[in-house]
Amino acid sequence: MKSIILSVFILCASELLATAQDDTLYVSDLHTIHIRFDSELEYVNLGDDVLIARIVDADKEFLAVKAKERFDYTTSIFCIETDGDIHSFPVRYSMKLDKQIIDTREHLPGLKPESFIVENEHYETAIFEKFKNGFFSELNKELYHIGCYGYGISITCDNIFYRNDSLYLVMQVTNKSAISYQFSEPRFAVESKKKSKRNLEYEKNIIPHRIYGDGKVQPEESVKIIACFDKITLIKKQVLRIYYYEINGQRNFILTISMNDINKAKRL
């Protein structure tokens, strides 16, 4: 009987260990990771003072985490959302981060990681109804100098315009590689034009009112990403950077938009 109980205990412990390893967060003192939750965070507890964390001001559903210094043991982060969901993450240090955005919503039923639609119910819907009817696809490409390229993938910003004091970005992801490209919801940040590697990755996150698009591009195909924001004005030496991270891959991109392109955007 004792041997049976011991065997069951070892089996359960092994399963718990496997789960913990799958859920482990890896942090660095060089870069910041961002964790996205389904609702706003109500409580955050760090298991050790080697970690730094803050709830992102613009959207309290995001937690920015970074290591103060290198460490060689497992610590933890404990979070409670306003809807009552509880999260506990084992945390370890790593020089190389495979993921810099962790989306806890991927485990929720009904979520499709290959597509995203973010909406604010108090925001106007008319122009996005036009999107469904091909409004954005019919816009002529007016910008040719904003883009990033690599691995057979190109990401460009084709249009920037204001409407009712809201800023719209129309971007396109084109896949000329032999395999599909799947990416998480893009991250937007206003940053200094030049930044030190020791700084936090984002100076100020910008959360769109709405973002429409498919997050998966098949070979020889293109998709459009349309994002809408409150009016943005950049000062000298600031840029808007857009981060695209491949899901389960290393084809990551940074699209940089200059102060002049934002501040001199036309009106529709």
CATH number at residue 70: 2.60.40
Instruction: Give the count of domains, the chain.
Output: 2
Last residue of a domain, one of 49, 82, 107: 107
Measured between alpha carbons, how far is 192 from 237 in angstroms, rounded to an integer?
A: 6
139 lies in the same domain as 256: yes
90 lies in the same domain as 119: no
Higher pLDDT, 3 or 160: 160
Last residue of a domain, one of 107, 136, 151: 107
Last residue of a domain, one of 78, 107, 136: 107
pLDDT of residue 208: 82
186 lies in the same domain as 246: yes
Measured between alpha carbons, how far is 203 from 195 in angstroms, rounded to an integer?
A: 10
Chain segment 11-43, per-residue pLDDT in tens: 444 433 333 334 788 898 888 888 888 778 888
Tell me if the pTM is above 0.75. Answer: no
157 lies in the same domain as 260: yes
Residue 259 has pLDDT above 80, yes or no: yes
149 lies in the same domain as 257: yes
Chain segment 177-236, per-residue pLDDT in tens: 999 999 888 888 888 887 655 544 446 778 887 787 788 899 999 988 888 888 888 888
What average pLDDT does this structure show over 227-255? 88
Between the two ends of the chain, the Cα-to-Cα distance in Å is: 77
pLDDT of residue 135: 57
In terms of residue numbers, what domain contains 124?
A: 115-267
121 lies in the same domain as 71: no
pLDDT of residue 78: 86
